[in-house]
Amino acid sequence: METLLISVLNGLVYGMLLFMLASGLTLIFSMMGVLNFAHASIYMLGAYLAFTISQFVGFFPALIIAPILCGLIGAAIEIWGLRRAHQNGHIAELLFTFGLVFIIQRVVQMTWGMLPMPYRVPPSLDFPLFVLYGSNFPAYRGFMLLISAAMLLSTWLLLKKTRVGLIIQAALTHPHMVSALGHNVPRVFTTVFAGGCLLAGLAGVIGGNYQTTEPGMADSMGPIVFVVVVFGGLGSLAGCFVASIVMGMIQTFAVVIDYSVADVLRPLGLAISGDTLLTEVLTVPVARIGALLPFVMMVTILFFRPRGLMGTRDT
């Protein structure tokens, strides 16, 4: 029971972190039609920038400065890169963001090296928030929850309660019409792209010391975020939110579940024995295939419901 509660909280922390990344990605995709491969690279950049900045001015200023830098980098990418690549069609755009992944990775490796950074939780947040039957829940994770909830709320308010938000929502379905009504759609695109990068950067700042800040962190985060976006459904922030939380839970629980499919079938009277490939597969504990689970889910949902959970259009 105690592990269950702690695991739910951990799943929530991870799910909210995923949502911070996935929400930007899904907004950018549904609005601009760009599948931004470099989104997780910005996440990585956010972590590295936060590490370096926090060495000079401390963690809390870095929490603000690093995401803003990421937002500015995003704006620059959109204005001087994407906008030009866009004129050459979707493939050019896709390849452009793909190229960015490698460029950012190289830059990170050249600047900070190959080894993990000693980017740590700030001492002021480095204590157990509460202890339940011997397992503790670190205060930093509580802080992560707080930050991501605040981010969620302000993004929602921005989208639903401001005029810019209204224009963004309209441009999700009919960008050309929005333009023909006299709104500067390229500027809206830049805003959304920069905003998405800011969120990704913020996720990097609070995720970099929760996980590890190292040159492979974009590669390990990227695919999961894509799965979340596809699973939640393109163009749906609500679907994206549900998918993020579900994925956070799955990822957290998969490592603590030490059962296999065969263990579940046994009480039903289905004993499995022998030495076939099927038995092999069925007796693998979930913990060992945990990393595979998200992708299996994505393929399954694409098979049965190509719009994703709550998507408004086909993938």
Q: How many CB atoms lie within 10 A of CB 114?
A: 9
**Distance (Å, rounded) from C-alpha 202 to C-alpha 139?**
18
Sign, CA torsion 180/186/189/194: negative
**Whole-number minimum distance, CB 278 to other proteins, in Å?**
46
Q: Which of residues 30 and 54 has its CB atom nearest to other proteins in the complex?
A: 30
Judged by CB under 8 A, the stretch of 56-64, 170-178, 258-266, 284-292 that binds other proteins is 170-178
Judged by CB under 8 A, the stretch of 132-140, 176-184, 247-255, 280-288 that binds other proteins is 176-184
Q: Which of residues 177 and 299 has its CB atom nearest to other proteins in the complex?
A: 177
Q: Which of residues 52 and 179 has its CB atom nearest to other proteins in the complex?
A: 179
Q: What are phi and psi of 183, to 5 degrees?
A: -100, 140
**Whole-number minimum distance, CB 92 to other proteins, in Å?**
16
Q: Does the protein bind other proteins through residue 185 (CB under 8 A)?
A: yes
Helix (H, G, I), strand (E, B) or coil at 42: helix
Q: Does the protein bind other proteins through residue 161 (CB under 8 A)?
A: no
Helix (H, G, I), strand (E, B) or coil at 153: helix
**Distance (Å, rounded) from C-alpha 41 to C-alpha 221?**
9
Q: What is the DSSP letter of 137?
A: E
Q: Which of residues 70 and 168 has its CB atom nearest to other proteins in the complex?
A: 168
Q: Does the protein bind other proteins through residue 181 (CB under 8 A)?
A: yes
Which residue, among 169, 309, 242, has the nearest Cα to 18 in the 3D structure?
242
Q: Does the protein bind other proteins through residue 186 (CB under 8 A)?
A: yes
Residue with tokens 């992560």, as numbered in its chain: 144
Judged by CB under 8 A, the stretch of 84-92, 106-114, 171-179, 250-258 that binds other proteins is 171-179
Name 264's Cβ contacts closer than 8 Å, sequence gap at least 6: none
Q: Does the protein bind other proteins through residue 169 (CB under 8 A)?
A: yes
Q: To the nearest 10°, the Cα dihedral for 130, 124, 153, 214?
A: -100
Among 182, 267, 269, 274, binds other proteins (CB under 8 A): 182
Q: Which of residues 88 and 173 has its CB atom nearest to other proteins in the complex?
A: 173
Q: How many residues bind other proteins (CB under 8 A)?
A: 19
